Structure 1
């Protein structure tokens, strides 16, 4: 799919992770689209390092409408997009100690009021779902609808769909700078130039840097390092263990295979955009937190990795035209929920750029809530 850049395009999308790839697929039937990626392959950073799941309450009430609206595409995509869904059963427990029962109550009530299928649980039913759970950790909210997402399969499907509709992907092509020329942009890449009517900034952790290179005021996208590891245990924890998320945001873990879990301390260490790597202190912190919750001996840390999760100041996604430069389009700030919201964000933003308005659940989302104008 890599090719020499054409001389001009309608829409230049900067960044070929899940945000850029999904938008390219949604927009390519209606506009000429070029997708540029600074790395050797798309999805190298946040997308390729995601332990993603579809969890309706994850990310908060502001993100939940986008998560819900994305479910149909993830679960039952159109035949032309994929011949199978991208979700598999998991279930999720938002877990607290006895002293956090009120927090779990509030969490449950908040999302139940929004129509989320969520059940308040306490005591033995919680312990039955997580073998080895310590006595003080028996307060929980359960979401049976939580699913794992096949991130690699979803990302690849979006790239294939974009290619079928004529989009061009160019790798090893970071945007160096861009300036307005007439009604469009003159864009300098690492090796060549291109003219574009619109620039879409889907550069993840680099979003503010790309804005600066285009002469656009940043909105305050801050990258944070997130550490994840695969841990082998000394007990036969089942592979279908639910996703277990601390109500206070200090950890989550889920079954990976028999006797193995994926674990994170849910760290958010402010970082500059870079190729993130795990730090031993965060690995140790994750294990310490895990062992305060469950009576599971840790035999080995088999793998560990880190990625960058990027947030706007209000921790909501940012997509839409810049308030001062309508030919510069933001698609950034997806935090740790970018995979589970990508279908809805792509369709809503594509509609602003010339594609038809989405129907159904997506059409009922108020895209104005996520517009960059809120930072003006």
Structure 2
């Protein structure tokens, strides 16, 4: 049995970022159930850094991640982790109230956002239909995230700090004895006083193996497709790489440029059991219909389709904290659709909470408290 200071269950972005930060001061092993890390949700993300997406706690964690994204440690990445994109929250005439609310909420953390009228929205995103859009909220500083580069940077950094990633290591049994969590897997047996449950959609399953009550995690399917940028204007189509990401202000669809093509989604949230989720044909049809109604895109074929699981707890705020009923069991769960953009700050938060029980000063200064993240809030 290999003994370390911290075992992290799950090698996706949540587990990798936490393990990297913890490895600066602890001996860490990450157990990943698949043959490669990031196979499930991490590898299927829309990959956007936006400070206007999610509840206030999520937005604060996103803002607190900015410095790492723009100035990562030396040698962490071979290329910039962020590249310019921009986000346009668009609305119809009947969505005026939603646009005002999005602007008011966004300004709390992102003063650079601005309100655009219909003409301004069409100038910013000429792919929009003039008879659809009545206005928009523009976040010009939103960025594309190099998810692969970020994940690999964390895993390289983990190794450089003496940590280890073990793949094909699905957890089959967990028990607490003599102050240690003892974990069985096909890759071996491991023990540590602290176990970080970062198993994504499987977090409640992992807790059950340890005899710990669930936190009510609900995995939800999100469907996406890639299509060619076919419009009624060659000039508009050829400019696809310069379009911002377009999101319906009511979050019923989005369209995002992706390497010369366009990623579409109906922004679906269908509850699912943890699994290797696959796209649903009806969701694909809904995505195409909604985007064709709002934009000048004509979808002639689906180049590629996929789905991922975004896991939420009741209040849709991520969970990071020790379980008050099980010594040394740390929850890192419920990242929903925010796990990539908040990963740098969340990784630091996990390391700080495991080590000393307080949050990093910059995160606390943005109004986040340990109670905001604690699993205890879900059982009160």
TM-score (norm 2): 0.93
Tell me the equivalent position of 2:128. Answer: 133
Pair 168,348 (structure 1): closer, same or farther in 2 beyond 3 Å = same
Deviation at 1:13, TM superposition (A): 0.2
Structure 1 unaligned regions, length at least 5: 1-5
Q: Which residue of 1 aligns with 2:106?
A: 111
Tell me if structure 1 keeps the 8 A contact 2:166–2:187: no
Q: Find the counterpart in structure 2 of residue 3 from structure 1.
A: none
Cα distance in structure 1, aligned partners of 2:126 and 2:106? 26
Residue-by-residue CA offset, 1:99-147 (whole Å, 9 max, x unaligned): 1011101110122134442101112111112224222313110001100
Question: Partner of 2:234 in structure 1?
Answer: none
**Aligned: 1:281 with 2:273:** no
| 2:205 is equivalent to residue 209 of structure 1 | yes
Question: In the alignment, what sits opposite 2:171?
Answer: 175
User: Would the aligned equivalents of 2:6 and 2:195 in 1 still touch at CA under 8 Å?
Assistant: yes
Which of these residues, 6, 9, 15, is aligned with residue 10 of structure 2?
A: 15
Question: Counterparts of 2:317 and 2:352 in 1: how far apart (Å)?
Answer: 20
> Which residue in the other structure is 1:223 paired with?
219
Q: Is the 8 A contact 1:93 1:245 kept in 2?
A: yes
SS at match of 1:153: helix
Residue matched to 2:344:
343
Q: Which residue of the other structure, out of 141, 147, 154, is the alignment partner of 2:150?
A: 154
Partner of 1:369: 372
Query: Is the CA contact (8 Å cut-off) linking 1:254 and 1:261 kept in structure 2?
Result: yes
CA RMSD of aligned residues (A): 1.7
Change (3 A) 1:359 1:212: closer
Q: What secondary structure sits across from 2:65 in the alignment? A: helix
**Cα distance in 2, alignment partners of residues 117 and 144 from structure 1:** 7
Corresponding residue for 1:296?
297
Distance change (3 Å), C-alpha of 1:198 and 1:356: closer
Structure 2 CA distance for aligned equivalents of residues 359 and 323 of structure 1: 21
Deviation at 1:233, TM superposition (A): 3.1
Aligned to 1:321: 322
> What residue is the counterpart of 1:238 in the other structure?
240
Q: Is the 8 A contact 1:241 1:255 kept in 2?
A: yes
**How many angstroms does 1:363 deviate by?**
5.0
Partner-residue secondary structure (3-state), 2:287: helix
**What CA deviation, in whole Å up to 9, does each residue of 1:144-166 have, x standing for no partner?**
11000000000000000000111
Distance, in Å, in 2 between the alignment partners of 1:325 and 1:334 is 22
Q: For 1:88-103, what aligned pairs fall within 5 Å after superposition?
A: 88-103=83-98
The alpha carbon displacement at 1:180 in A equals 1.0
Contact 2:115 2:138 in 1 (8 A): yes
What is the CA–CA distance in structure 2 between the aligned matches of 1:206 and 1:273, rounded to whole Å?
6
Provide Cα deviations, 1:37-75, integer angstroms capped at 9, x if missing partner.
000111100001112110111123231000100111111
Give the whole-Å Cα distance in 2 for the aligned partners of 1:194 and 1:282: 41
* Alignment CA distance shift 1:108-1:224 (3 Å): same
Cα–Cα, structure 1 residues 132 and 16, in superposed 2: closer, same or farther, change >3 Å? closer
Given that residues 28 and 162 in structure 1 are in contact (C-alpha distance below 8 angstroms), is that contact kept between their aligned partners in structure 2? Answer: yes
Q: Kindly tell me: are residues 141 and 162 of structure 1, through their superposed partners in 2, closer, same or farther at Cα, counting changes over 3 Å?
A: same
Residue 141 of structure 2 corresponds to residue 145 of structure 1: yes
Deviation of 1:191 (Å): 4.3
